[in-house]
């Protein structure tokens, strides 16, 4: 069974890869809009990547108010 | 006119396929300029179709296929008008876009939407006029209109009901959530999923295959398989105009237009 820490690490890795930033610069508590400098359209791209990687459907309304990687990973964890 | 380069879109005929390309920053929002050029295209389509067997519709914008109606223009124009003029203005816009969509829907050739990225609202509705939807794997489809206190107004509900089960129609409309290309394919909305950046290439290959068949047979088959939806489309315009007069719509539009939120495209 995948733990929340493992899911968080995967989210950080995928975000770093997709937005071409060094993984070491991203932390679980970071605000991903600020840290990655992305807007809501780019956040939807990240959502699609995450859905493909984890083979889940994550309705985008679940991301309302979510801006840090750790909380995002919790939302994913609840669908695994 | 065999080719056209406008402010918001262009078209050309390429190896027997009409290629319509949307190109208006930021993401092909449909306002009065795009509508005028779509009307021009619709008016030329029958003539263009004499030299083509297929039509592809794609976007040159990296953000996506089309983010829907131009809400900023809609809000700003409606602010300058009184309540009665507002409704007549929106009705006029809807009737014009419906004529374009009906022309595309019933086009005398096979039509393919090659979509990627944001395919929201009116953009989704434009794709639904096509016979086939080929989607880049990063595509997201969404009907966000209920967030604004509205329903889709470009013929989206009747066409979605025509193509998929009512459960999915209710899911997409009532939650306003977006779905990805794989989900859209699993429910029969998307016919093929392409690699990132390859939707138009796959659409061209599909158009080439379609070109092998007898044209008159393809047209007859399409007319038999693809029912037109006049009554429901008329009813949609009526419901949209009724809802448009409510204060919640003005508030929703103002919130969207004035938002500096990082998440205006999230529900």
Domain extent listing, chain B: 4-257
Compute the distance between CA of residue B99 and CA of residue B128 in angstroms, rounded to an integer: 14
Give the right CATH number for B4-257 from 3.40.50.880, 3.90.226.10, 3.40.50.2300, 3.40.47.10: 3.90.226.10
Residue in chain A nearest B119 by alpha carbon: A41
Q: Give residue A30's domain range.
A: 4-77
Residue in chain A nearest B263 by alpha carbon: A40
Number of neighbouring beta carbons within 10 Å of residue B252:
19
pLDDT band at B30 (very low <50, low <70, confident <90, very high): very high
Angle B96-B99-B103 from CA coordinates, rounded to 5°: 145
Looking at beta carbons, which residues of chain A come within 8 Å of B59?
A: none
Among B120, B198, B208, CA closest to A40: B120
The model carries a pTM of 0.93
pLDDT of residue B220: 93
Exposure letters A28-54 (e unless 16+ CB within 10 A, then b): bebebbebbebbbbbbbbbbbbbbeeb
Our CA-based measurement puts residue B172 at a distance from the nearest CA of chain A, in whole angstroms, of 10
Contact state of A60 with B118 under an 8 Å Cβ cutoff: no
Interface residues of chain A, partner chain B, Cβ below 8 Å: 33, 38-41, 43-45, 47-48, 51-52, 57, 59-61, 63-64, 67
Structure tokens at B180: 């990805």
B76 is catalytic: no
For B4, other C-beta atoms within 10 Å of its C-beta total 15
pLDDT digits (tens, 9 = 90+) for B31-54: 999 999 999 999 999 999 999 999
How many A/B residue pairs have CB atoms within 8 Å?
59
- pLDDT by residue (tens digit) across A38-76? 888 888 899 999 999 999 999 988 888 888 999 999 999
Task: Report how many domains make up chain A.
Answer: 1
Contacts of B178 in chain A (CB under 8 A): 44, 60
- State the Cα–Cα distance between residues B122 and B97, nearest whole angstrom: 10
Provide the β-strand partners of residue B64.
B117, B118
pLDDT tens column, B155-193: 999 999 999 999 999 999 999 999 999 999 999 999 999
> Over the stretch B90-132, which tens digit does the pLDDT of each residue have?
999 999 999 999 999 999 999 999 999 999 999 999 999 999 9
Residues 6+ apart with CB under 8 A from B39: B96, B99, B100
ipTM of the complex: 0.87
């Amino acid at each position: 069974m995948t733990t929340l820490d493992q899911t968080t690490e995967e989210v950080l890795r995928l975000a770093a890869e997709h937005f071409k930033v060094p993984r070491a610069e991203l932390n679980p508590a970071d605000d991903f809009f600020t840290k990655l400098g992305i807007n809501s359209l780019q956040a939807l791209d990240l959502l699609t990547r995450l859905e493909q990687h984890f083979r889940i459907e994550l309705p985008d309304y679940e991301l309302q108010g979510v801006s840090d990687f750790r909380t995002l990973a919790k939302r994913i964890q609840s669908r695994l | 006119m065999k080719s056209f380069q406008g402010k918001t879109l262009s078209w050309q005929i390429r190896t027997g396929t009409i290629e319509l390309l949307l190109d208006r920053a930021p993401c092909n929002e449909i306002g009065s300029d795009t509508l005028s050029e779509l009307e021009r295209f619709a008016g030329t389509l029958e003539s263009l179709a004499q030299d083509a067997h297929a039509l592809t519709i794609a976007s040159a914008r990296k953000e996506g296929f089309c983010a829907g109606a131009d809400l900023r223009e809609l809000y700003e124009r409606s602010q300058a008008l009184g309540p009665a003029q507002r409704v007549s203005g929106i009705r006029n816009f809807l009737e014009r876009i419906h004529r374009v969509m009906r022309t595309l829907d019933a086009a005398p050739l096979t039509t393919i939407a090659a979509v990627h990225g944001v395919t929201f609202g009116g953009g989704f509705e434009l794709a639904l006029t096509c016979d086939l939807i080929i989607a880049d794997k990063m595509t997201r489809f969404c009907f966000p209109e209920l967030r604004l206190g509205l329903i889709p107004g470009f013929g989206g509900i009747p066409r979605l009901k025509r193509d998929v089960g009512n459960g999915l129609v209710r899911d997409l409309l009532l939650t306003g959530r977006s779905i990805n290309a794989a989900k859209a394919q699993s429910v029969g909305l998307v016919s093929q999923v392409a690699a990132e950046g390859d939707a138009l290439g796959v659409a061209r290959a599909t158009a080439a295959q379609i070109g092998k068949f007898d044209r008159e047979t393809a047209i007859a088959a399409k007319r038999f398989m693809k029912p037109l939806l006049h009554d429901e489309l008329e009813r949609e315009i009526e419901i949209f105009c009724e809802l448009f007069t409510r204060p919640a719509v003005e508030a929703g539009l103002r919130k969207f237009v004035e938002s500096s939120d990082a998440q205006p495209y999230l529900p």
